[in-house]
Chains A and B, each alone.
Chain A
Amino acid sequence: MLVAALRAVLPPEAIVEDAASRAAFDCDGLTAYREMPPLVVLPADADQVSAVLRLCHEMRIKVVPRGSGTSLSGGAMPHPEAILLVLARLNRIIEIDIDNQVVVAQPGVTNLAITHAVADHGFYYAPDPSSQIACSIGGNVAENSGGVHCLKHGLTVNNICGLEICLIDGTRLRLGGRYLDAGGYDLLAAMTGSEGLLAVVTEVTVRVLPAPETSRVLLLGFPTPAAAGACVAAIIAAGIVPAGMEMMDALAARAADAFVGAGYPPDAGAILLIELDGPLAECAIAVDRVSAIAREVGATSERVAADATDQAALWAGRKAAFPAVGRIAPDYYCMDGTIPRGRLPEVLEGIAALSDKYGLAVANVFHAGDGNLHPLILYDADQPGELHRAEEFGADILRLCVSVGGVLTGEHGVGIEKRDLMPLMFDECDLAQQMRLKCAFDPDQLLNPGKVFPTLHRCAELGRVHVHGGQTRFPDLPRF
């Protein structure tokens, strides 16, 4: 019945029914979790998106939105009772408005394509997740994506100024635009990082920044990750905010070096990659200051990239860290907690102890400037029980992060993966208020079912029941 109704609003090629084609969509970047979508639709424009959503709303059919499918938390994982709404065909840059320093793009445009579109004008789009070649700007909005440059320039939420969204009933509305402050409730912020649970993004207006006049990259070696962490703290304390500040432990650095020949020091216990940018003289001063700090805190090696090619080589190792680790183990599981940076030594000790406990190696890659950790747990899915052990290990790492004042996810999102860990950070009242926000957008809870929230409650119930101090429990309701 739904398919027949969809045929009235979509061209034939936009509806994918056959199993072989649907199988291409059975997982996102979190490949350990798979589910065959019962139906896949690929609308070509916002009108078609609106028509699909209106139909699904009328027929009470659930919808999983998907961009490029690079989520690392299962945010775009299909659901057995939901159609998969793929936005990839909305892949046009609508306008490059350099006069106003914005680009208007459809949601399926890739992150890197935006920077490419404005590079000739001397501009770039700041958030740069490692998957930037493939990930879509709409997906970036859904996940509030970061990247190595977000210490200085912020996450997606700090770099977009307008959205067109489509509500589940098909209503299209504009939030913000090519200007700074829209006023009223900041629904644009509410949408950003909402993981496809509130509405579907059909257009994004991003702010682009003038490219820095120059940038320099330093490679520093340290005997231990703790020493590298002390260097990071000292740089921040000196009032320097690098464009990027990345740490890799010995295992990750060696794997990356073996993979792309980045030229990392082979004997270092940890390396730091620090990018400084700005006007030429400013940049030179900052490089000197960072060098001096590094020597003071005991760096064992230091190299400043000679030119752009050398810089690119140093960064190539970091950007290839995940696949590089993928070469030294059959499978890896990437975690994403954030901690107060000062707690890094004890968290690393804790991770090492857990590594012994679970008998699984771990390679550590961090966005060191903002305390966002990406421990990569190495395992072999073909060994019975190892995936489960890796998951348990990962959950313990996140428990550790939360216990020192950190959070479950710095940039990958909750999705399916960390859904059941939400109560570590949030009590019943906290979660009830978040679910109420969903009710304002999607009262029938049709969008991206089964993600983010560990337990589900009907909206009528959430509006009525008062939870006090986490004491009053909701009656258990069936999950989707």
Chain B
Amino acid sequence: MEVIRPTTAAEVETAVRGALSDRARIEVTGSGTRRYLGAPVMAERQLSLAGLDRIVAYEPEELVLTVEPGLPMTALAALLARHGQHLPFEPPVSGTIGGVVAANLSGPRRMRAGAARDFVLGVSAISGFGEKFKAGGQVVKNVTGYDIPRLLAGSFGTLAVITRLTLKVLPAPSTSATIVFPDLTPQDGCALLRACAGSAIEPSGCAYTLDGRQGSAFVRIEGARAAMDERLRGLEKFAGRHGDRLDDHRAEAFWRDLASPEELLRVAAHEALWRLSVPMSHAPAILAAADRGLVDCAGGRIWVIGADGSEAPPIASDAGSAMLYRAPETMRRACPLFSESPAVDALARRVKAVFDPHGLLNPGRMRAEDMSHAC
């Protein structure tokens, strides 16, 4: 496959125009870290944005950062850390910022802070018409025009090729502590997490890992160092029991790994990893039906393992959403990345058509044309 490596937005525009006139389909990539998400793309050309890796503007006092999509997450995280700030949605620190936004990734802070889409303020992009356009703005509060920046977040590069992104950033918490509550059934563990998440102690992480029939609940609290003891007391009050403080290094690794928990769950090559978004109170029943899994976001996000070719976990269409996060290629070819109702699917196809009428961009990645919905 021919690989095009532009280093400027103008070169991206030229590449898309070229593809448009040749009717050549394009696979859009960053560093290629998450090509396993979605169905394999059937394309004649690859457009790598790794060369668009500049920091365009960063004004910490304005809480606004403008970057090119190919900027590596490691470089971005280091830059923000130097100014005591962070991306509050806690994405995996791998790949590029463009890839993180395209897949709308987020970590344990999702339950309170939001996902990548909540922090995208503005974009410049090239549509499937080969046209350069911008949307949104460079300030934290803006409602001028449709929210195309958020629509592009989570569109897996199938609507337009992003050439520049403006993100909202926030001060990073100065201190954090993680408390573990061991030996809890899924029912009790999830109830504990919901009680904490619904309390004024504002936990920034609420996870439960299963180890046999019992498991452990993990709760992370953050804030000013001098106020941590008070928060810890509040946490134990809401939890209704005493917990053990986890070593800081282990805690940091645990929450980091939760954002993409293949290792935590020891997912084998022949297995499928699903990411489920469900009402928090449904978590225990779903976990009970799975062989292996873990709970994040106080039950709002559940990771479960299935065998190759297994059906999606049973979630009513109005009570959650399943994402086939990682799976063998045969399964990715057969299943859509997300489940959608027919009416939403029809509207989504019309939206695709007004951004990329010829289907040039990442064809099939979110949904192959001939996919069955039986997954």
**Which residues of chain B are near A174, meaning CB under 8 Å?**
318, 341, 344
**Which residues of chain B are near A319, meaning CB under 8 Å?**
none
Q: Please tell me if the beta carbons of B137 and A239 are within 8 angstroms of each other in the complex.
A: no
Smallest CB gap from B118: residue in A: A158
Q: Please tell me if the beta carbons of A185 and B131 are within 8 angstroms of each other in the complex.
A: no
Q: Please tell me if the beta carbons of A340 and B59 are within 8 angstroms of each other in the complex.
A: yes
Q: Please tell me if the beta carbons of B354 and A463 are within 8 angstroms of each other in the complex.
A: yes
**Which residues of chain B are near A150, meaning CB under 8 Å?**
141
Q: Select one of B145, B155, B281 contacting A100, CB under 8 A.
A: B281
**Which residues of chain A are near B151, meaning CB under 8 Å?**
185-187, 189-190, 437
- Give the complex CA separation of A411 and B137 in angstroms: 13
Which chain A residues (399-441) contact chain B, with CB distance < 8 Å?
405-414, 418, 422, 425-426, 429-430, 432-434, 436-441
- Per-position contact with A for B216-246: 1 when CB-CB < 8 Å, else 0? 0000000110110111001000000000000
Identify the interface centre among A178, A182, A185, A286: most chain B CB within 10 Å of its CB.
A185
Q: Please tell me if the beta carbons of B357 and A282 are within 8 angstroms of each other in the complex.
A: no
- Contact flag A173-B344 (CB < 8 Å), given A99-B281, A236-B63, A407-B139: yes
Which chain A residues (166-211) contact chain B, with CB distance < 8 Å?
167, 171-175, 177-187, 189-190, 192-194, 198, 210-211
Q: Please tell me if the beta carbons of A282 and B231 are within 8 angstroms of each other in the complex.
A: yes
Q: Please tell me if the beta carbons of A212 and B115 are within 8 angstroms of each other in the complex.
A: no
**Which residues of chain B are near A438, meaning CB under 8 Å?**
146
- Give the complex CA separation of A405 and B66 in angstroms: 13
- Give the complex CA separation of A452 and B143 in angstroms: 11
Q: Select one of B137, B318, B320, B323 contacting A406, CB under 8 A.
A: B137
Smallest CB gap from B322: residue in A: A183
Q: B353 near A: Cβ within 8 Å?
A: yes
Q: Please tell me if the beta carbons of B159 and A282 are within 8 angstroms of each other in the complex.
A: no
Q: Please tell me if the beta carbons of B350 and A175 are within 8 angstroms of each other in the complex.
A: no
Q: A468 near B: Cβ within 8 Å?
A: yes
Segment among A264-272, A296-304, A324-332, A364-372 that sits at the interface with chain B:
A364-372
- Give the complex CA separation of A205 and B366 in angstroms: 26
Q: Select one of A154, A190, A193, A440 contacting B118, CB under 8 A.
A: A154
- Give the complex CA separation of A101 and B197 in angstroms: 9
Q: Please tell me if the beta carbons of B61 and A233 are within 8 angstroms of each other in the complex.
A: yes
**Which residues of chain A are near B129, meaning CB under 8 Å?**
466
Segment among A20-28, A79-87, A273-281 that sits at the interface with chain B:
A273-281
**Which residues of chain B are near A181, meaning CB under 8 Å?**
104, 106, 110, 115, 275, 277, 301, 321, 323
Q: Select one of A122, A179, A282 contacting B278, CB under 8 A.
A: A179
CB distance from B108 to the nearest CB of A (A): 12
Q: Please tell me if the beta carbons of A425 and B133 are within 8 angstroms of each other in the complex.
A: no
Q: Select one of A98, A210, A370 contacting B199, CB under 8 A.
A: A210
Identify the interface centre among B117, B129, B300: most chain A CB within 10 Å of its CB.
B129
Q: Please tell me if the beta carbons of B147 and A190 are within 8 angstroms of each other in the complex.
A: yes
Q: Please tell me if the beta carbons of B347 and A411 are within 8 angstroms of each other in the complex.
A: no
Q: Select one of B63, B64, B351 contacting A187, CB under 8 A.
A: B351
Q: B19 near A: Cβ within 8 Å?
A: no
Q: Please tell me if the beta carbons of B171 and A236 are within 8 angstroms of each other in the complex.
A: yes
Q: A11 near B: Cβ within 8 Å?
A: no
Q: A155 near B: Cβ within 8 Å?
A: yes
CB distance from B62 to the nearest CB of A (A): 5
Which chain A residues (294-343) contact chain B, with CB distance < 8 Å?
338-342
Q: B32 near A: Cβ within 8 Å?
A: no
Q: B280 near A: Cβ within 8 Å?
A: yes
25 contacts between A and B (CB under 8 A): A122-B198, A158-B118, A174-B318, A179-B300, A181-B110, A184-B338, A189-B150, A210-B198, A236-B63, A236-B171, A239-B84, A240-B171, A278-B202, A279-B202, A338-B139, A340-B62, A340-B139, A341-B61, A342-B62, A372-B141, A430-B135, A433-B148, A434-B145, A440-B350, A462-B354
Nearest 5 Cβ contacts at the A-B interface:
A183-B338, A189-B150, A239-B171, A282-B227, A213-B200
